[in-house]
Amino acid sequence: MRNSVTKTIIAILVAVVTIVLTIAVILGTLFLIVFGGLYMWGRISRRRPEPGQQQPSNLASPTLPRTRREHTDAVTAVAFDPSGDWLASVSR
């Protein structure tokens, strides 16, 4: 008799824990969907320019003045030298 009561209590505890974890996963997923969507909607809606204004090309990075020629050079090839140095071919 005692053995069946213990098994019943364990079965009830397993069922309750399973239900609680399932509800937690569902609520966590809904939380991520709702607040992730609100976050992305805020990012998208903030980037829209006001009527009559031009949108900046890249809001994430500030524009740096290009004062040296090297800043505009394009790297065309990269190789690893056996001495341990990186070699880059630059087009001018």
- 38 contacts 55 by C-beta, under 8 angstroms: no
Listed in sequence order, the residues at least 6 apart from 20 whose beta carbon sits closer than 8 Å to its beta carbon are none
Which value, in Å, is the radius of gyration of the alpha carbons in the chain?
Answer: 30
Taking only the tens place, the pLDDT of each residue in 35-70 is 888 887 776 666 665 666 665 555 555 555 555 555
> What's CA 12's distance to the chain center, in Å?
39
* Overall pTM > 0.75: no
